[in-house]
C-alpha cells in the first residue's frame, strides 16, 4: 500500500471558517468522452468542478473519496490531474473499489493531487483512509492504515477531526449496497469512539445521501459526481438526481455544518430505473 509522507499542511485564508469540499465516485474513463450507465462521467465531473469554482471560490481543500476511475487506467486518473488545475486548491484522494493503486500513482503525477495524505487545515485535521481490497467490491482497513489513524489521532488530541474513507462503516438501509460496505467497520468505529476529537465520518461509494449520528460523531455520505443510486433499494437502481458534492464549513471552536449541492440537471442524461435483473 502506498501512502503520502506526513500530514499535508494547507494554507487557509480565514482560519475562523475553513471550507472543505468532498467529491466522490467520478468513475472516469480512459476515453474522455466515455459514459457509464448513460452518464458521460468526465463531463459530469467538469460541471461539478465548475460549480465549485463559481460558488465556493475560497475552498481550502477538496477530498475525493474514491472510485476516481471506472476502468482503473492511468489516463483516467490523468484526466482528474488536468481538471483540477484551474481550481488552485489542494486535492487529497483515496482509492475506491474501482480504483487501482499503481494506476493512480502513474496517472496522478503533477503534484496537484495528494494520494492517501491526511491534512491540517486551519484548526482541523482531515484524515483520509484507504479501504481498497483489490478485486473486491467491499472494503477493509489494513493494520497499517489503522495504525496510521491511531498515530494521527494521538498526535492531534486537541484538534477537531474529520475522517474520510470510501466504504460506508455502517448500514445505509440499502440491501445490495450494504453487502459492499466496510467489512471491519468495528475496528474503525472503536478507534473513533475512543477519540473525542473526531467530529465526523464521511464516505463515498453509496452514490446517495446519508446523514446520521453515532454518539457525538456525525455520519455522512455524499452524492456522486456522476450517476446516483436510489436510497433504500434492494437491487441496483438508478435515481434521476443530478451529480453533486458535499460542502463542510469547519469552525475554530470545533463545530461544523455541512450541505449538499447539486449541479443544474437540465443537461443530465441519466434516467431512473433498475439496471440489474430482479
| pLDDT at residue 266, rounded to an integer | 74
| pLDDT at residue 274, rounded to an integer | 59
Coil/strand/helix, residue 105: helix
DSSP characters over 41-69: HHHHHHHHHHHHHHH-TT--EEEE-S--B
Mean pLDDT, the chain, rounded, equals 94
Read off the pLDDT of residues 93-119 as tens digits, 9 standing for 90 and up: 999 999 999 999 999 999 999 999 999
- Band of pLDDT at residue 272, cut at 50, 70 and 90: confident
Read off the pLDDT of residues 217-246 as tens digits, 9 standing for 90 and up: 999 999 999 999 999 999 999 998 999 999
- Band of pLDDT at residue 265, cut at 50, 70 and 90: confident
- Band of pLDDT at residue 2, cut at 50, 70 and 90: very low
Q: Output the nine-digit C-alpha cell for 214.
A: 453515532
pTM of the model: 0.95
Q: Name all domains of the chain by residue range, CATH numbers in brackets.
A: 9-268 (3.60.21.10)
| pLDDT at residue 6, rounded to an integer | 78
Amino acid at each position: 500500500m502506498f501512502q503520502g509522507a506526513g500530514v499535508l499542511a494547507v494554507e487557509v485564508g480565514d482560519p475562523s471558517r475553513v471550507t472543505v469540499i468532498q467529491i466522490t465516485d467520478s468513475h472516469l474513463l480512459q476515453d474522455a468522452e466515455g459514459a457509464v450507465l448513460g452518464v458521460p462521467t468526465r463531463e459530469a465531473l467538469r460541471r461539478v468542478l465548475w460549480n465549485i469554482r463559481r460558488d465556493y471560490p475560497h475552498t481550502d481543500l477538496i477530498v475525493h473519496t474514491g472510485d476516481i476511475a471506472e476502468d482503473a487506467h492511468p489516463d483516467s486518473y490523468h484526466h482528474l490531474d488536468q481538471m483540477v488545475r484551474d481550481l488552485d486548491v489542494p486535492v487529497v484522494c483515496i482509492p475506491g473499489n474501482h480504483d487501482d493503486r499503481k494506476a493512480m500513482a502513474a496517472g496522478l503525477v503533477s503534484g496537484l493531487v495528494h494520494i492517501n495524505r491526511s491534512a491540517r487545515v486551519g484548526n482541523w485535521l482531515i484524515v483520509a483512509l484507504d479501504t481498497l481490497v483489490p478485486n473486491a467490491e467491499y472494503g477493509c482497513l489494513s493494520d497499517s492504515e489503522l495504525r496510521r489513524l491511531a498515530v494521527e489521532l494521538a498526535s492531534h488530541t486537541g484538534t477537531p477531526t474529520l475522517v474520510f474513507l470510501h466504504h460506508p462503516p455502517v448500514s445505509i438501509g440499502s440491501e445490495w449496497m450494504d453487502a459492499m460496505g466496510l467489512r471491519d467497520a468495528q475496528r474503525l468505529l472503536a478507534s473513533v469512539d475512543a477519540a473525542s476529537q473526531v467530529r465526523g465520518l464521511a464516505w463515498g461509494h453509496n452514490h446517495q445521501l446519508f446523514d446520521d449520528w453515532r454518539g457525538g460523531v456525525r455520519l455522512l455520505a455524499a452524492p456522486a459526481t456522476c450517476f446516483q443510486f436510489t436510497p433504500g433499494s434492494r437491487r441496483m437502481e438508478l435515481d434521476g438526481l443530478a451529480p453533486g458534492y458535499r460542502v463542510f464549513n469547519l469552525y475554530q471552536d470545533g463545530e461544523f455544518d455541512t450541505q449538499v449541492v447539486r449541479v443544474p440537471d437540465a443537461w443530465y442524461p441519466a434516467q431512473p430505473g433498475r439496471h440489474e435483473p430482479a
